[in-house]
Every structure is written in C-alpha cells, then in structure tokens.
Amino acid sequence: MLMTRERRPAVRTLRGWALSVLQEVGAIHECEEHGWAKDRADPHALARAIEFARQDPPAGVSPDEATAEIRDVLDSIGDTCPECRDGDC
C-alpha cells in the first residue's frame, strides 16, 4: 500500500507562511464568525513558532528573517476581533 505524507499547502508570501506557522502551533486562532486572526497569548506556542522558524525557514529566507517575520506578524494581531462587539467572540 502506498503511503503519502501530508503536505503543507503552498504559501506565496513570507507573511502567509508566518500566519500558517502561528496557526499550526496554536499561537493564533480565527474568530469563528468573522475569520479575523486572534492572538491566543500563549508563550509556549510562540516559542514553538520561533523554534520552527529557526529550524525550517522557507526557501531563500534566513532563520533570522523567518523569526523576525513570526514576531512581526504576531505583533500585528490583536487578541480580539475588530468586528465583534465587546470581545464576544
């Protein structure tokens, strides 16, 4: 029986790669109603994302650049959805 390994979807931008990594490690999640990314404020998840960026950066990107992008993207995401009233989501 032929076994295939699950592949990650192709990401076209460094920002898209960083969002994918952050979501995969559980550092961010989506508002179920509106789809906005929200920071989970989990330091362990951030550490996993940084470690992943250092060990397996995208092709043509240095580990330092990948780590910086992870931090930049996470810094740009809030912990509430801008469309939800009073942080209901």
Measured distance CA(18)–CA(4) in Å, rounded: 25
Residue with tokens 């920002």: 15
Q: Which domains does the chain have, with CATH numbers?
A: 14-81 (1.10.10)
Measured distance CA(14)–CA(35) in Å, rounded: 20
Question: 70: closest CA among 83, 89, 87, 55?
Answer: 55
Predicted confidence at residue 11, as pLDDT, reads: 59
CB 39 within 8 A of CB 78: yes
Average pLDDT, stretch 16-35?
93
Q: Is the pLDDT of residue 4 over 90?
A: no
Tokens found for residue 35? 């789809």
CB 53 within 8 A of CB 66: yes
**Each residue's pLDDT tens digit, 60-76:** 999 999 999 999 999 99
Does the pTM surpass 0.75? The reply is yes
